[in-house]
Every structure is written in structure tokens, then in C-alpha cells.
Amino acid sequence: MWTLFLASALSITLPGVEVQTLDGRSLTGPIVALTTAQIVVQSAKGQESLETNQVAGLTIAAPAATPARRKAWVELVDGCCLPADDYTVEGGRATITLAGGEQSLSLATAEIAAVRFSPPSAAVTAEWTRIRERAADSDRLIVHKGDTIDDHQGILRDVTAAVVRFEVDGEVLPVKRERVSGLIYYHAARAKLPEAVCHITDVDGGHWAVQAMSLADGKLRWSTPTGLTISRPLGELQRIDFSGGRMVYLSDLQPESVAWSPYFRPDNELPVLNQFYAPRQDRTMEMLPLKLGGKQYRKGLAVHGRTEMTYRLPDRFRRFQAVVGIDDRVRPQGAMRLVVRGDHRVLWEGVLTGADAPLPLDLDVGGVRRLSIVADFSETFDVGDQLLLCEAKVIK
């Protein structure tokens, strides 16, 4: 049966995938089958099957999307976040034209948490977050005045391409959409939604919470916790994340503290130097992709000597894993001393040089509350070295 299925599946040209397991292994090749329970890949060793509870995620070799200016970013109550080419509402029902314009969703506004009509930017994101976190007992209309935004409470009604109809004290006001920065829908307590089994990121930047999925005829079909059903060619997706809190990358955590110390300390502290030599998340110090031992990595940290980072770990994580070494752009030169501590106890210590092969670390952090990583100068006193901690993560 699997042979016939494989022959049928491979008759369709599918993009290759890289599957990353929780224990640090990697499988690459065309995907044969995919559900929320199992992944089957045709690798160089033959057909290999993995249960998704063993998988951190899979990355799909899909072409990058052409950058485009979207008109709306729609957040659903189940955590989906969708870039859209248009957003309208009539009679309490929203129509979301997804990025690319080839597919539209129709759903009740009861399933929508918020909508932004202006691109997320540093200038307004902090204020938007503050407004979102503030308690309210009604819908909110967010309007912008130059570089600032303000919110008004009332009832959100129909939304057209020209206006947002907003009811205040029984009067419906047509607010020009060009003045509207966003909408926040009020929802009273509701039944708890099913938990997402995984999360999908598509090439347009959409993020989908997934309750069930299946692959057929080159298309992945999935349903969300709120009951939406979506079908997209596999090549239009970027990544499927199965980690679900079982694995956390250090580059996604905010360190409790970061301290950089130059080899030659100036008489006066220069904040600009601290910023310049601060660790980089998922990029090198020059903001280039992480590359170690000829392999490019999607996640990780780049640090300059001497840097000490301390992370307060979430509960019940038991392993720390990473592939460490001197940045390929420095090799074969360079040397740094790496020290990994758990609650002040040394878990690993050693010198890494540019002549060494990348070193996989797999350390027991069971019961550890604070994980410290020190990238120190070696005895060669080369102050320009850069250490990479690729795929640095903690695992339950």
C-alpha cells in the first residue's frame, strides 16, 4: 500500500523538506506523507517515517514571496495571524482576502481578535501593544494622528473599502478608513478552543494555528481551532512547527542579563560599543546568515568576546543542545573559550578554535533555573573572534 502511495505522491513534483527532530537529527528529501501525527520523507537512506511528537519542525524549500504592501493584518482568536489584501465586514460577517488575492475567507467577527490597517512598525507597535493589553468592555477603534495612535470605545459595525462604521452612544459614525489604524473586537468569556497541534508559516508571512492536516495531490489541507479549512500548495509554505513548547530556541528567549567586556577597557563607558558588540539572534555580528562548518543554520546566536548571557529557563526543561564553533567567516583563524553553567555549576568548558570541526553539545539541564553562557577570550588574545551557537535550544 505504501509503495503505491509513494509512487502516486512522487509523480507530483513536491518541494524538498528538511525535518529537524527534537534530539538534533535532520532528514532531507521529498515529502511523501504528512499528517498531524506522522511525517514520511524519501531521504537518501530510503523512506523514513517519524511521529510528530519526535519532531521540532520542518522547513520547506519554497521560493521566497515577492515583497508586497498588504492592506491589513488580521489576528484571529485562535492565534492565527493573516496578512490580507483586503478586509471588509457586512452584517457581522468578515471577508478576508488573503495575500495574493486568490483565496478569501468568510467568518463571523466573533472569531476575530484584531485587525491592523497600518504596517507593524517600531514607531507604533509599543503603543498598539499597550492598548491591546488594557482591559476594556467594548470594541475599540484605533485611529492615527501622525506618528501616534489613539483608541475609542464603542461598537464596530460594517467595514467597507472607504469607511469603518463605528457606533458610539447609539449613533453610527462613518470614519474614513484612511484614518483608521486598527480594530480591536471585544469578546466576552467563551468556551476554550482546542489546542493547536502545530503552527504553519506561509511564504506571505501568515501564521496559522493547526488542529488537523493532511497532504494530497501536492496540497496541504488543514483546519484551525476555530474551524476554518485552508488548502495551499506545499510550495507556498515555509515552515511547520511541531515543537509546541517542548523545545525553545535561546534566540527566541529574552536573556535575563547580558554583559559585554572589552579586552582593553576604555576610561569611559561607551553605550554605543555595548550595542555594537551585543549578541545577535539568528544572524552573525554582521547580520549575515549563520554558517558553521559549511552548513547554514536558521536559528542560533552569534557572540563576541567577552560576553556573558544568562537565561532564566522555563519549567521542566532537561537538555541543552547546540552546535558551537568559530564563525566560518573567521576560520581557520580564531579561538575562544566557551563556558556553559547551570545555576553556577559548570556544565561544559573548553577552547574552540577555527581549526576545529563544529562541536555538538548535549548537556543535562534538569532542574536548572538559570543557564549562563560565557564566550571568553582565549590565550591567543585574538579580540576579533566570533563564536556561533547554532540551533541553541532547551528541550523538555
pTM score of the predicted model = 0.69
Confidence of residue 274 (pLDDT cuts 50, 70, 90): low
Q: How far is CA 259 from the centre of its chain?
A: 26
Q: Tens digits of per-residue pLDDT, 337-392?
A: 999 999 989 999 999 988 899 999 999 999 899 999 999 887 765 545 789 999 99
Where do the domains of the chain lie? 2-60, 72-184, 248-395
Distance between start and end Cα atoms, the chain = 36
Q: Tens digits of per-residue pLDDT, 142-154?
A: 998 877 788 999 9
Among candidate residues 34, 60, 41, the one with its CA nearest the CA of residue 203: 60
112-116 and 345-353 beta bridge pairing: unpaired
Q: Whole-angstrom Cα distance, residue 299 to residue 394?
A: 13
Q: Whole-angstrom Cα distance, residue 321 to residue 328?
A: 20
Q: Which three cell numbers stand for residue 96?
A: 478576508
Query: What number is the average pLDDT over the span 111-117?
Result: 94
Q: Tens digits of per-residue pLDDT, 85-112?
A: 999 999 999 999 987 767 899 999 999 9
State residue 119's pLDDT score. Answer: 67
State residue 68's pLDDT score. Answer: 63
State residue 92's pLDDT score. Answer: 95
| 81, pLDDT greater than 50 | yes
Q: What are the CB-based long-range contacts (under 8 Å, 24+) for 263-268?
A: 263/305, 263/306, 263/377, 263/381, 263/383, 264/383
Q: What is the CA radius of gyration of the chain?
A: 24
Q: Whole-angstrom Cα distance, residue 303 to residue 384?
A: 11
State residue 304's pLDDT score. Answer: 85
Confidence of residue 6 (pLDDT cuts 50, 70, 90): very low
Q: Whole-angstrom Cα distance, residue 84 to residue 101?
A: 8
Q: Whole-angstrom Cα distance, residue 94 to residue 91?
A: 8
163-168 and 148-159 beta bridge pairing: antiparallel
DSSP 3-state of 5: helix
CATH of domain 2-60: 2.30.30.100
**Second CATH level (architecture) for the domain 248-395:** Sandwich (2.60)
Q: Whole-angstrom Cα distance, residue 384 to residue 343?
A: 29
